[in-house]
């Protein structure tokens, strides 16, 4: 965002001073606008690709879990696109209001200057240049005469310059206002698109609910979902292992750089990792949702439908769809990805080897590498085949912990 401050200061005559100032917030620079347009287009392209996949799956007679995944992925993308379109509309509206206020202020200043000039012209018409001559001839010395001659010359020149400058700046602001109006027209078109996408989102949500109902009546789907969840457990383990390895390599590289700087006499340049207090929160860790009950505990369980043993590497918390999901501790967003069997998944790094995992997310409000605070809303809960749930895990390096030993006891 670029801010342009225009300050017009006019001639100071004796103890009289006239200062005009105006501030205008200009629209984003061309690279910023291009970047935002590219982001929107990328989302549109991804949504379209899933639309094609869904259209192809509709031609098949049997409903598959893959179709459920595609519906969820497209729904997530639609929500992201709608949020960006809303942000675009708010930004351009704020810019147009600021520009209009600036032009109104400058027009008032221009009118004041015109009125002052009109008074000066009337005075010259009535008295001619007699007053100026009297001012010069009343000088008490040659030095004072020269000063008054220069004063009158600069006064006249400055007035002409000031008038030209304010007219030019007014023209600049009017041009900018026209540009902002054009952008507002573009944003209104985007708002029309937003309305269309919101309708598409509503349709997709209904489609997904209907598909889930059909899937839940199919025993084979439970077998598939069980296999997908087992694969999801391995995928989370793999992802965390990759994060640990990436972290190790970064620390090794930073340590080598620090040794080299110390050898060269430049001093260490290690950036210390934020201090983690996570280990002190055992038994007092806040819940990732403000309300909800544990539907599936940590450890091995007998599946209620298939009667097979399944492992839960965290806890599943029963909550209503769309419940706010909170960060249980300060940290950084390491990964956001879609994992079949867990849906949209987020992994937070709380430092010193501690990480938390959140699954079955329906909406995500943060991005990777973003720093977050304890209690910050990071997402909303979604829905699995087994119901409306939030999946939650706690890790210390490669070791899975039972979240119930960490979470504060519910009353």
**Per-residue model confidence as pLDDT tens digits over 181-199:** 777 787 778 778 777 877 7
Mean pLDDT of the chain, nearest integer: 76
- Give residue 14's pLDDT band: very low, low, confident or very high (50, 70, 90): very low
pLDDT at 168: 72
Judged against a pLDDT cut of 80, whether residue 65 lies above it is answered with no
pLDDT at 67: 74
pLDDT at 411: 64
Q: How far apart are CA 218 and CA 225, in angstroms?
A: 11
The third-level CATH classification (topology) of the domain covering 233-405 is: Glucose Permease (Domain IIA) (2.70.70)
Whether pLDDT at 405 is above 80: yes
Least reliable range by pLDDT among 37-46, 132-141, 373-382: 132-141
pLDDT mean over 68-81: 80
Task: Select the more confidently predicted residue: 401 or 177.
Answer: 401
The band of 394, judged by pLDDT with boundaries at 50, 70 and 90, is very high
> What pLDDT sits at residue 227?
81
What is the share, in percent, of the chain residues with pLDDT greater than 70?
67
pLDDT at 246 exceeding the cut of 50: yes
Q: What is the dihedral of CA 231, 233, 235, 240, to 10 degrees?
A: -170
HSE (CB half, 13 Å, CA atoms) of 301?
Answer: 17
**Of 291, 283, 279, 280, the residue nearest 320 (C-alpha):** 291
The residue among 86 and 7 whose pLDDT is bigger is 86
Higher per-residue pLDDT: 5 or 373 = 373
Residues 14-34, mean pLDDT to the nearest whole number: 45
| Per-residue model confidence (pLDDT) at position 61 | 45
Q: What is the pLDDT of residue 241?
A: 94
- Calculate what percentage of the chain has a pLDDT beyond 90: 29
Distance CA 145, CA 132 (A): 11
- The per-residue pLDDT for range 304-341, each reduced to its tens digit, is 666 777 889 999 999 999 999 999 999 999 999 999 88
Tell me, what's the pLDDT at 10? 35
Choice between 358 and 43, residue whose per-residue pLDDT is larger:
358
Question: Is pLDDT larger for residue 382 or for residue 4?
Answer: 382
Domain definitions of the chain by residue range: 3-216, 233-405
- Nearby residues of 355 by Cβ (< 8 Å), 6 or more positions away: 240, 243, 334, 347, 348, 349, 394, 395
* pLDDT of 39 over the 60 cut: yes
In the prediction, which pLDDT does 98 show? 77
pLDDT score of 248 more than 70: yes
Hey, what's the torsion of the CAs at 397, 398, 402, 408, to 10 degrees?
10
The Cα 199–Cα 196 span in angstroms is 5
Work out the average pLDDT over 201-227.
73
Mean pLDDT to the nearest integer, 46-72: 64
């Amino acid at each position: 965002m670029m801010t342009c401050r225009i300050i017009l200061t006019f001639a100071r005559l004796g103890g009289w001073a006239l200062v005009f100032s105006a501030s205008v917030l200009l629209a984003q620079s061309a690279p910023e606008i291009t970047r935002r347009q590219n982001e929107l287009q990328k989302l549109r392209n991804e949504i379209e690709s899933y639309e094609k996949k869904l259209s192809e799956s509709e031609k098949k007679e049997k409903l598959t879990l893959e179709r459920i995944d595609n519906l969820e992925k497209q729904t997530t993308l639609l929500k992201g696109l709608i949020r960006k379109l809303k942000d675009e509309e708010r930004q351009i509206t704020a810019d147009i209001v600021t520009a209009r206020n600036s032009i109104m202020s400058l027009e008032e200043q221009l009118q004041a200057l015109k009125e002052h000039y009109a008074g000066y012209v009337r005075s010259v018409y009535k008295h001619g240049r007699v007053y100026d001559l009297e001012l010069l001839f009343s000088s008490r010395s040659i030095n004072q005469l020269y000063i008054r001659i220069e004063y009158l010359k600069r006064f006249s020149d400055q007035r002409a310059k000031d008038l030209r400058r304010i007219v030019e700046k007014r023209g600049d602001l009017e041009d900018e206002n026209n540009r902002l109006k054009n952008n507002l027209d573009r944003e209104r078109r985007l708002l029309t698109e937003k309305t269309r996408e919101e309708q598409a989102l509503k349709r997709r949500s209904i489609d997904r609910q209907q598909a889930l109902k059909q899937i839940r009546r199919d025993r084979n789907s439970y077998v598939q979902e069980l296999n997908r969840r087992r694969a999801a457990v391995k995928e989370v383990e793999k992802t965390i292992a990759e994060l640990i390895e990436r972290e190790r390599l970064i620390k090794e590289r930073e340590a080598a750089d620090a040794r080299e700087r110390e050898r060269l006499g430049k001093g260490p340049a290690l950036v210390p990792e934020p201090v983690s207090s996570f280990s002190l929160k055992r038994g007092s860790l806040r819940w990732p949702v403000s309300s909800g009950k544990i539907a599936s505990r940590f450890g091995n369980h007998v599946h209620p439908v298939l009667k097979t043993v399944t492992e839960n590497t965290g806890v599943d918390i029963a909550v209503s769809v769309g419940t706010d999901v909170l960060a249980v501790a300060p940290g950084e967003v390491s990964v956001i990805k879609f994992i079949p069997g867990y849906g949209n998944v987020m992994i937070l790094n709380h430092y010193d080897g501690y990480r938390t995992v959140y699954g079955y997310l329906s909406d995500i409000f943060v991005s990777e590498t973003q720093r977050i605070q304890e209690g910050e809303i990071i997402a909303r809960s979604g829905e699995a085949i087994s119901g409306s749930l939030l999946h939650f895990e706690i890790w210390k390096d490669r070791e899975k912990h039972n979240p119930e030993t960490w979470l504060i006891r519910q009353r």
